[in-house]
Structure 1
């Protein structure tokens, strides 16, 4: 089943760009009309060479459309496109429509805060959601300035890309913005709590929901300090001042991504306002996200990709600069270590999948195809490659090329060729070989030590061979002492004298490759790992182990032994990219009986050995909760937590979710917990716990979310899917395996864009480790009538499942 909207083809975008020059947008939005829809009147002034084209529009209804004063037949609107016939010269198009508030994190998302019953709105126009807010020519290379006028309830505050004011209650007028691509336009509206400061002539703002105002106040000093430090460093590096006037950072509810770099009004997911105690890892993640979005103000906003297949330039550059600047000028000098835990495997797993793609020049034929490449390759791999390029060129040439790029294309659009031309003008040699091998060829080389032969072997992926040279550091342990040396690997075999007990290739991520430890190193690490004090080396060791597991080259039992020897409490945040979640989701189900209990004891032992109140103690406690199998122990923690740990809302729900998975609570207790503290966090965690219960009713409830019979916001959609599939509950979930494949195609009728693809992943039958499930997944992924985003996610999930099955076959438990 295909999407109800047409995806913009690249050929169409090129033709429309040749026809039109957009001069300005004037957008009037009435957000006070009702809770479900809003009025949208768009005036577009543009120059045309003359001839037919279309305007992008995804309304609930249309009052009137007039082109140059003449009515346009609105019945011609088809799948988000309204045909118009322009005249040569200046044109004016006026579209008066009613648009939908959405709850999927796109367009104008409207959210009801359960803590106080107040509504909040924010705009997310990426990648093709703008036409559900205002009529537009929706492609990145038709930039224009915007003037917004917004009517809102009188108690609301409204901010947008440009500075604004409220001349009368409920009415907001905004200055004309700098030229923006449609996907950068935003507004944030509601009874937001606002904190204001100024730095170096730049007005700064922080916004959050009123119910978490206290948490934002507590974090404001850190957030403002980081923002100021990053502005100073970006100004020093680029010599080009921030070009968009004021800089608001709005923490908004139910945001799909980590953040969005809208010029002048960056939006973040509001769990980044910490209402419960968090680990240092989460604070670093927030800091690097702040710096990442600030880097975008130059790379992405000041100069924007001409077409979506250069989106990697936005994200790779911001990923590299965000981590670099965070490490260099903020209190989080260990940002690169955190990046190793959080991002490295995300990129490597994507690069090893059958859906891998080049970093650059993907040839995305349409916007939907480009969106599917918005992944760990575009972020983590691209960042790694740029970091390698910087090391090769040197900072002077690298930055000089970037500044030349910004200067030549200021407020315009550019391509990868433009950027590489700037680097070559700045003094780089011919970069074509680098581009071909690292950016235009998909896949990662595999690097392994052949201890017996005394060589490091490089194996390019068979489907994507490339002539890559790798220069990286190697850490060698001899009698418990670690030494670091360098190696350059150029051919299939490179001599490397092995004179140590453990050898860890590329622990500091100097190159991009799939790196696996040899068997002797794995054995030695069971003794050595607890004493490794170099945090970057520890992260590198774990990435080596994770890559080997993904590549079916290390036994689950060995991974568990390493965990028990030295529990990886450095990375327990709630995402599948982190070590804690990876262990529970991927490793433990394939490991010998008793592994979960061994990890639990190790976590408790580690926690007890850590200073009370330390961040690692908190991480250890999280791991202990997630691995607990005794309800009485969990109930004991609800009554009294270990010294140094307070039972805050986050920990209370972690315990309740675990009790639910064990069948040691019920829906009444969970509802009582929600009613006792009805926050946005509680609402999501209540869903996660409710569907984790080992009952038919719980699984049916989750399934009603998947099918769309029960309409919930995006965060609850994720909680329902992730919470549903629990190990040990296969008897209850087995009927839903076939239903997943039968009913997935129809979900295109109830959701679109970001969450359509995400729901495919969230509800995939993760616990059904069978060849039949794999065959069903591969078969449906091959169905060309299926939505491309769904097919892509299915193919990735099938690859993951095939690897789990291969691990089980290679390392049988008996």
Structure 2
């Protein structure tokens, strides 16, 4: 059994590849700087198709918000960010630009374009574009001219700001009300990050949400164009100020959202009560951004997630928040509070898993989250009792994959031996079983197991693509001190690995084997390494720099976790 999020992801992937029949096959970009003409369009059209023609229609855009947009915002705030229409100098540039900008940001910006020009105009332009350029190669302007003709808007000026510049804007709500509780002024202030000095036009919706019978329900809606540093929303003046004033309701805009204080308080208290999965996704994303920008303490965010994910019904949103929770526990919580917070979080995840509806998607995801966060002996006892069948959850079937999940965690905790792993593999000697067995072996908390898999990953290179992925996961699933001795050898060996192995294999190792614990010492060592790289290692520099960015952000967020 897999999470519904993965089933939906498979559907989106199939639709994405089908979209290449038009974007990529019928009409192909002239050069790789217009790679987005393939990938961004395929990513956008796959979600549009899912939203209009599949059983995922109700949740497709909420899923897009939780997955693609989360990926896009993260990628766009790395030092390696680039315009959607990227400069491609060589084939190494091509490989690393199959990234969150080309796929997720490009698709997000296309959704914004559709909102800006109108979907009918957008589709009419595409029909002319494909008719005119069938079996040929195009450049960006070939599409823009058709969009301008059908919409009557200055799409070239729009493109210059959206497709040809990098960075993400922040849109912040500024609101005041009178003594009667009516809005006296409402403004949307737009800003940019240092080094990315572009203010962009945004088509967005402001939703007014009020508590009605225990649910946060939209009671009013304003759709508008936002442009420049300050946009005054005259239409809102005189309206009753709602419990939640949600900027970017419907998630049309591509921007970081900052809510007013009253709305934040409402959102934190009633996030799970918002009756729109897309609106919940916008709130989840906004609050996650405030943590990453060190404006909300990490432990407050941990509590927010643990208090609300039990009510989340969108499978991808649940999966994303579990992943964000894991990242927060690992990297963002202040070091002195990390272990206690992780223990408390795992206990809460266990309670949520037990309380979840039997045989539900939430039950499976919350249980897997608990297993992966297990730290204390009591928590490991529960994992072991689940494995041995002494403890059961109503409706839960311990199938092959979940059994391996338990095995890998028990191996990490020193509760499973190599001999027991071999027995499990004998009983499930499938492709999946072989991958999980490698993860379990690499998870064993012994110096010998870590040395063996360090050698297989970093020295001999004997592991296949998928097997290596599982081996890296197992190698890193341990107390940091057990593998701290490999931090310096990583920097000594990584350039040779990058030069001698395939792009996919080396990319896994560069990111996956990078030292685990964000510290000032690791940041300093990484900076020194980057300064030492030769000019012809630009693609390696980019990947290490992204890891460096993660450490720098983590240290900043840790300092704010007070």
TM-score by shorter chain over 0.5: yes
**Partner residue, 2:221:** 485
Q: CA deviation at 1:455?
A: 3.9
CA–CA distance in structure 2, aligned partners of residues 763 and 500 of structure 1: 48
Determine which of 593, 612, 624 is the counterpart of 2:370. 624
**Partner residue, 2:491:** 741
**Partner residue, 1:723:** 474
CA 1:456 to 1:660, structure 2 compared with 1: closer, same or farther past 3 Å?
A: farther
**Partner residue, 1:306:** 30
CA 1:587 to 1:545, structure 2 compared with 1: closer, same or farther past 3 Å?
A: farther
**Partner residue, 1:652:** 403
Q: Is the 8 A contact 2:171 2:191 kept in 1?
A: yes
Tell me, yes or no, if structure 1 residue 446 matches structure 2 residue 170. yes
Map 1:222-261; keep pairs closer than 5 Å.
none
CA 1:678 to 1:555, structure 2 compared with 1: closer, same or farther past 3 Å?
A: same
CA 1:599 to 1:503, structure 2 compared with 1: closer, same or farther past 3 Å?
A: farther
Determine which of 519, 527, 530 is the counterpart of 1:781. 530
**Partner residue, 1:615:** 361
Q: CA deviation at 1:519?
A: 5.1
CA–CA distance in structure 2, aligned partners of residues 570 and 673 of structure 1: 34
Q: CA deviation at 1:279?
A: 1.9
Structure 1 stretches of at least 4 aligned residues deviating more than 6 Å after TM superposition: 571-575
CA–CA distance in structure 1, aligned partners of residues 407 and 466 of structure 2: 18
Q: CA deviation at 1:427?
A: 4.9
- Measured against aligned partners, the alpha-carbon deviations of 1:549-574 in whole angstroms (never above 9, x if no partner) come to 22222111111111221126657779
Q: CA deviation at 1:677?
A: 0.3
Q: CA deviation at 1:450?
A: 4.4
Map 1:505-516; keep pairs closer than 5 Å.
505-516=247-258
Q: CA deviation at 1:679?
A: 1.4
Q: CA deviation at 1:410?
A: 1.8
CA 1:385 to 1:604, structure 2 compared with 1: closer, same or farther past 3 Å?
A: same
* TM-score for both structures, normalised by structure 1: 0.62
Determine which of 55, 59, 62 is the counterpart of 1:331. 55
**Partner residue, 2:201:** 469
Determine which of 345, 360, 380 is the counterpart of 1:599. 345
Map 1:292-371; keep pairs closer than 5 Å.
292-333=16-57, 334-360=59-85, 362-371=86-95
Larger radius of gyration: 1
CA 1:682 to 1:615, structure 2 compared with 1: closer, same or farther past 3 Å?
A: same
Q: CA deviation at 1:501?
A: 4.2
Q: Is the 8 A contact 2:353 2:367 kept in 1?
A: yes
Q: Is the 8 A contact 1:588 1:595 kept in 2?
A: no
C-alpha root-mean-square deviation of aligned residues, in Å? Answer: 2.5
CA 1:660 to 1:525, structure 2 compared with 1: closer, same or farther past 3 Å?
A: farther
Q: Secondary structure at the match of 2:285?
A: helix
Tell me, yes or no, if structure 1 residue 581 matches structure 2 residue 318. no
CA–CA distance in structure 1, aligned partners of residues 357 and 469 of structure 2: 35
Report how many residues are paired: 532
- Higher RCO by CA contacts (8 Å cutoff, separation 6 or greater): 2
Map 1:66-85; keep pairs closer than 5 Å.
none
CA–CA distance in structure 2, aligned partners of residues 476 and 558 of structure 1: 25
Map 1:539-554; keep pairs closer than 5 Å.
539-554=281-296
**Partner residue, 1:434:** 158
**Partner residue, 1:761:** 511
Instruction: Note the residue ranges of structure 1 that are not aligned, 5 or more in a row.
Output: 1-276
CA–CA distance in structure 2, aligned partners of residues 386 and 439 of structure 1: 10
More strand by share: 1
Q: Secondary structure at the match of 2:514?
A: coil
Q: CA deviation at 1:786?
A: 5.7
Q: Quick check: 653-662 or 298-307, which moved more? A: 653-662
Q: Secondary structure at the match of 2:217?
A: strand
- Measured against aligned partners, the alpha-carbon deviations of 1:351-404 in whole angstroms (never above 9, x if no partner) come to 1111110011x2211121122221111111111211222222223322222122
Q: Is the 8 A contact 1:385 1:438 kept in 2?
A: yes
Q: Is the 8 A contact 2:169 2:199 kept in 1?
A: no
Q: Quick check: 499-508 or 292-301, which moved more? A: 499-508
**Partner residue, 1:279:** 3
**Partner residue, 1:797:** 547
Q: Is the 8 A contact 1:571 1:578 kept in 2?
A: no
Q: Is the 8 A contact 2:126 2:146 kept in 1?
A: yes
More helix by share: 2
**Partner residue, 1:686:** 437
Q: Is the 8 A contact 2:408 2:443 kept in 1?
A: yes
Q: CA deviation at 1:605?
A: 3.4
Q: Is the 8 A contact 2:66 2:316 kept in 1?
A: no
Determine which of 380, 384, 388 is the counterpart of 1:639. 388
Q: CA deviation at 1:733?
A: 1.4
Q: CA deviation at 1:317?
A: 0.6
* TM-score for both structures, normalised by structure 2: 0.88
CA–CA distance in structure 2, aligned partners of residues 580 and 513 of structure 1: 23
CA–CA distance in structure 2, aligned partners of residues 407 and 448 of structure 1: 42
Q: CA deviation at 1:749?
A: 4.3
Instruction: Note the residue ranges of structure 2 that are not aligned, 5 or more in a row.
Output: 177-184
CA–CA distance in structure 2, aligned partners of residues 750 and 676 of structure 1: 36
Q: Is the 8 A contact 2:490 2:514 kept in 1?
A: yes
Q: CA deviation at 1:710?
A: 4.3
Q: Is the 8 A contact 1:556 1:588 kept in 2?
A: no
Q: CA deviation at 1:698?
A: 2.3
CA 1:754 to 1:589, structure 2 compared with 1: closer, same or farther past 3 Å?
A: closer
**Partner residue, 2:181:** none
Q: Secondary structure at the match of 2:35?
A: helix
Q: Secondary structure at the match of 2:189?
A: strand
Q: CA deviation at 1:510?
A: 0.9
